[in-house]
């Protein structure tokens, strides 16, 4: 029997499997591509060839095309005049705009987060943050994304949380630049601890201030980096197994 290697990644809604002999379920196609883009494995500006993606996932081009259009609606994929799809590449001014929007949306949710968070919620967030203290950059970035998603969930403002989540996903590859290249992890982690203390103290003003500062600091560091250098980030450092499998196939 042929020996096949299955690689998996835990996404927001399901466990996705890329297997050389098994087709990926239709709803999972967009999830794997979204995860690959979010992780930075499919780099900004990279062409997304439908035939290659379909072959990698063991599906026809039709569900791949549907997935790409769904991701285009989220701002993660851009279609050119020739109909070809690419991973959306953000200009510095777009990074500036999206990071500013993230700061405004997250700080807007602060009063609701404080109002609805229970002691058990605070304890769970504290446990998550403490567990992040000694993580290396890639694992820390994954937990960082989860931490902010959990804050959004606690606000019980689904429309604002959905909008914020989309922004967070669009800027995640650039957030990982801040962590892996600009070494912003220690400052960001210290701010996470401060957020927990503000939440535990029911201090919505302080939580809002911290969320604003959290995004502002990373935004300014990234804009300065973009102005000074065009040095790329090694995407292998920020890839999940399934994202790497797909990207390796696309780059072959």
Domain of 141: which CATH number? 1.20.120.530
* CATH number of the domain residue 71 falls in: 1.10.10.10
Its domain, for residue 184, covers: 92-228
Tell me: do 42 and 157 sit in the same domain.
Answer: no
More confident position, 1 or 132: 132
Res. 1: pLDDT tops 50: no
What is the per-residue pLDDT for 238? 45
Average pLDDT, integer, range 189-206? 97
Name the token pair of 183. Answer: 């070494």
Tell me: do 26 and 73 sit in the same domain.
Answer: yes
Residues whose CB falls within 8 Å of the CB of residue 149, separated by 6 or more in sequence, listed in order? 165, 168
What is the per-residue pLDDT for 221? 87
Position of tokens 């995407």? 235
Alpha-helical (H) ranges within the chain are: 26-38, 50-57, 61-73, 92-116, 119-132, 137-154, 158-180, 185-200, 204-228, 241-251
Instruction: Indicate the number of domains in the chain.
Output: 2
Name the token pair of 123. Answer: 């304890």
Could you tell me if residue 225 is left (phi over 0), alpha (psi between -120 and 50 degrees) or otherwise beta? alpha
Model confidence, pTM: 0.74
Could you tell me if residue 192 is left (phi over 0), alpha (psi between -120 and 50 degrees) or otherwise beta? alpha
Mean pLDDT of all residues in the chain? 83
Q: What are the angstrom distances between the C-alpha of 30 and each of 27, 35, 125, 136, 171?
A: 6, 8, 29, 28, 17
Task: Tell me if 82 sits within 8 A of 195, measured CB to CB.
Answer: no
What is the per-residue pLDDT for 28? 84
């Amino acid at each position: 029997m042929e020996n096949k290697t299955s690689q998996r990644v835990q996404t927001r809604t399901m466990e996705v499997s890329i297997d050389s002999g098994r087709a990926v379920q239709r709803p999972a196609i967009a999830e794997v591509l979204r995860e690959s883009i979010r992780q930075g494995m499919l780099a900004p500006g990279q062409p997304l060839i439908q035939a290659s993606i379909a072959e990698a996932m063991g599906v026809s081009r039709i569900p791949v095309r549907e997935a790409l259009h769904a991701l285009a609606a989220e701002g993660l994929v851009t279609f050119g005049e020739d109909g070809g799809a690419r991973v959306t590449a953000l200009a510095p001014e777009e990074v500036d705009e999206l990071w500013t929007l993230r700061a405004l949306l997250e700080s807007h949710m602060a009063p609701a987060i404080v109002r609805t968070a229970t002691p058990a919620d605070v304890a769970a967030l504290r446990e998550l943050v403490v567990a992040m203290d000694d993580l290396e950059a890639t694992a820390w970035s994954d937990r960082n994304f989860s931490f902010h998603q959990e804050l959004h969930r606690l606000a019980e403002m689904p429309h604002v949380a959905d909008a914020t989540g989309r922004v967070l996903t669009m800027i995640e590859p650039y957030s990982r630049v801040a962590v892996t290249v600009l070494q912003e992890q220690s400052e960001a982690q210290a701010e996470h601890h401060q957020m927990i203390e503000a939440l535990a103290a029911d201090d919505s003003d302080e939580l809002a201030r911290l969320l604003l500062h959290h995004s502002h600091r990373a935004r300014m560091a990234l804009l300065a980096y973009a102005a000074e250098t065009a040095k790329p980030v090694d995407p292998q450092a920020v890839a999940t197994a399934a994202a790497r499998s797909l990207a390796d196939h696309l780059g072959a």
